[in-house]
Amino acid sequence: MEKPIIYSFAVVRSSSEQFKDKTPYVTAILENEAGVRFPALVEGYTDGMEVSIGQTVKCQLIDGKPSCCF
């Protein structure tokens, strides 16, 4: 699960209460090499950054949960 690809994503500008300090941010469905999909907030998005389906991101497991960034 180290370098999954983006299956689809959204740049969120209007969030729920818990995430309002993080906007804009990217939330995505990622797909690992085995074809397994999982949801993630991909850290490190800034406006003007190119993000596309099929792009690779970096993930590591922290306390059993994927932590992902560009």
Nearer to other proteins, 2 or 37 (CB): 37
Residue 45, strand partner residues: none
CA dihedral (54, 36, 39, 8) positive or negative:
positive
Encoded tokens for 45: 């998005």
- State which of positions 8-47 bind other proteins (CB under 8 A): 8-20, 22, 25, 27-29, 37-41
For residue 20, the minimal CB distance to other proteins (Å) is: 6
- 3-class state of residue 62 by DSSP: strand
Binding site for other proteins (CB under 8 A): 7-20, 22, 25, 27-29, 37-41, 53
